Structure 1
Amino acid sequence: MRAKDIMSSPVHTVSQTASVEAAAALMTAKSVTALPVVDDDERLVGMVSESDLLWHRVPSDPTSQLRPRPDTDPADRPGMVMEVMATYPLATMPNMDVADVAEAMLEHDVRSLPVLDDGALVGIVSRRDILRTMVRTDAVLAADVQQRLDEYRDGESRWVATAEGGIVTVTGGFEDETEQAIVTVLARTVPGVSGVRTSQPSAS
């Protein structure tokens, strides 16, 4: 499964010259925790999160063990997104494996990754998107795989798909290794499938 299979598109973005208040309002309206920041040419230049927006707005607690916040005068607080956003944001590509996307999120402690295709922003993947694909039951996975296999054979139930722990097993004869590979690819396209097993091709 690839990033393009689970990403949200089109993407809600915010201009680097937008106000902090406008960015906060957009996050609230769209129920997102981060927004890609774009320039006048709609090119990705940063990412801004809820914590970025709040950092200079919440008074510092001297007893907190967290990183201290600057106690600036309200008049001196950043007003535009470009002043609080994270520059050089981590991004991924449409064909990136979802497992690699998840690993990058955990390694860099980010909750969402913009998806770039030849420099153009085409989507965004959040941790919620990844979790949504992982919580599907084995019965649902098996049913989805079975449907795709039957459609491939124009309604003929030539193979039987079962699932256990996210791993799908497809049983039945195969004309050759090419057909076996096609069935494997079809099964892998179902969101939530973590692995595919097939029987050996039948003797010709």
Structure 2
Amino acid sequence: MVKSFQGVKMAEPKKAPIPQILVKEYMSKSLTTFKPDDTIDQVMEVLTKKKISGGPVIDASGALIGIISEVDCLKEIIKGKYTNTPKFPAKVSEHMSSDVLTLSPDLSIFDAASQFLEHKIRRFPVMKDGKLLGQISLSDVIRAFPTMKHTTW
């Protein structure tokens, strides 16, 4: 009878999961928000002063009801040109986008980048359990990529 001895086999060490960079690591948490009754004049003043291109619109209870952007403000500016009105008294609720797409804070930055490409928009509110946690913009996503290493790529 022939016996075979291969020796003790070492168990392969379990590879740690590759850490992903998540939306919550790059999203803006201190948001500039707008109310549906704010005027476009007020919005343009805030956008200019804070050097931002838009923000979430929330109701009195703090629930997200829309997004207002520079593009939305342009609608009122064009209307003002035709009516020869240098003021823009229209309400945010008249021009905001109310069909709002949101992202989860636990979404990978790669998946967020795909959403930006697919929907061709500049910002997503970040929501969890129906609560507005922050906002991630296209520039936030771009800012994340130079910090990546081969282990997070």
**Common fold by TM > 0.5:** yes
Match of 1:167 among 135, 150, 153: 150
In the other structure, the counterpart of 1:96 is 107
SS at match of 2:134: strand
Question: In the alignment, residue 57 of structure 1 is paired with which amino acid?
Answer: I
Which TM-score applies when normalising by structure 2?
A: 0.77
In structure 2, the partner of 1:5 is: 25
Residues 41, 89 of structure 2: 8 Å contact kept: no
TM-score, scaled relative to structure 1: 0.59
Residue identity over aligned pairs, in percent, reads 27
**1:84-120, Cα deviation, whole Å (9 max, x unpaired):** 0001211111111111111111111101100011111
Does the 8 Å contact 1:8/1:123 carry over to 2?
A: yes
Relative to structure 1, is the Cα distance of residues 116 and 23 closer, same or farther in structure 2, using a 3 angstrom cutoff?
same
The CA distance in 1 between the partners of 2:49 and 2:27, in whole Å, is 19
Q: Deviations over 1:16-38 (max 9, x none)?
A: 11000111111112211111011
- The Cα shift of 1:133 comes to 1.1
Question: Would you say how many aligned residue pairs link Structure 1 and Structure 2?
Answer: 131
Q: Which has the higher contact order (CA 8 A, sep 6+)?
A: 2
* Structure-2 separation of matches of 1:85 and 1:78: 14
Flag the 1:71–1:4 CA change in 2: closer, same or farther, 3 A: same
Q: 1: CA distance between counterparts of 2:97 and 2:131?
A: 18
Distance 1:74 1:85, change over 3 A: farther
Q: CA RMSD in A?
A: 2.0
Q: Unaligned regions of 5+ residues in structure 1, if any? A: 60-69, 142-165, 169-192, 195-204
1:19 partnered with 2:30: no
| Contact 1:78/1:84 (8 A) holds in 2 | no
Counterpart of 2:51 (choices 31, 51, 75) is 31
For residue 48 of structure 1, give the secondary structure of its aligned residue in structure 2.
strand
Compute the displacement of 1:56 (Å). 2.8
Residue 12 of structure 1: how far off its partner (Å): 1.1
Structure 1: 4+ residue segments shifted above 6 A: none
Give distance in 1, aligned partners of 2:89 and 2:82.
Answer: 10
Q: Equivalent of 1:113, from 121, 124, 127?
A: 124
Is residue 128 from structure 1 mapped to residue 139 from structure 2 by the alignment? yes
Q: Which amino acid aligns with 2:135?
A: I
Aligned twin of 1:73: 83
Taking the aligned partners of 1:135 and 1:25, their CA distance within structure 2 comes to: 33
Unaligned runs of 5+ in 2: 1-20
Mapped to 1, the partners of 2:103 and 2:82 lie a distance apart of: 36
Q: Which amino acid aligns with 1:48?
A: I
